Chain A
């Protein structure tokens, strides 16, 4: 099992460019999440998908959109990148049964917006 995979690993964008971060999981989990990590702030939830066909905003959704393509894949799109979106992005997945809610994280995508 690969677990949670993310592409790309690194990306440099210019202000105003768009891009999509890809995430896939092979654990048959129902729920998937996108976080951003900034120094001194822990991880903050951008968007999540409780189950296939649903998506909801998290703590910091502005400037992002998501698509739950199928049960395995959950993508994050930056339509018009801004320097404030320079961060490390993590995707995670989990089950939604009590006691099984541990989230498993991908390796991250480092994004630099110039």
Chain B
């Protein structure tokens, strides 16, 4: 069975410093992995996805994530945080069952960016 663990429920960084949001997954086969961002009172926006191509995935707004099979991790990083990055971030693993792809969500990491 697939599962996702987001290791931090809250992360605070200062503006201009690096961001690291941690995600570990469990999957019985090669997974598809996603990061979504949710700004306050908004829907979910896709940041990036890994689907068994390059292990380093670049997304929107300067974010990237590295798929590490040996560590079963898919951590999200950004070199320099901006105030507009303050949001909740969800790590997701996709599983094909019952005729479609179902998402399993992590519990989310709320990123706070300090001025």
CB distance from B52 to the nearest CB of A (A): 9
The interface residues of chain B lying within 8 Å CB-to-CB of A42 are 90, 105-108
Bound together, the chains give a CA A2 to CA B100 distance in angstroms of 23
- Chain A residue with Cβ nearest B105: A42
Bound together, the chains give a CA A106 to CA B103 distance in angstroms of 15
CB distance from A7 to the nearest CB of B (A): 14
Bound together, the chains give a CA A43 to CA B93 distance in angstroms of 12
Bound together, the chains give a CA A16 to CA B19 distance in angstroms of 45
Q: Chain B interface secondary structure, helix, strand, loop or mixed?
A: strand
CB distance from B112 to the nearest CB of A (A): 16
Instruction: Give residues of chain A (57-72) contacting chain B, Cβ–Cβ below 8 Å.
Output: 58
The interface residues of chain A lying within 8 Å CB-to-CB of B36 are 105
Question: How many residues of B are in contact with the other chain, CB < 8 A?
Answer: 24
CB pair A108 B98 closer than 8 Å:
no
Select one of A44, A51, A56, A101 contacting B101, CB under 8 A: A101
Q: Which of the segments B42-50, B59-67, B75-83 contacts the partner chain?
A: B42-50
CB pair A96 B101 closer than 8 Å:
yes
CB pair B101 A94 closer than 8 Å:
yes
CB pair B99 A40 closer than 8 Å:
no
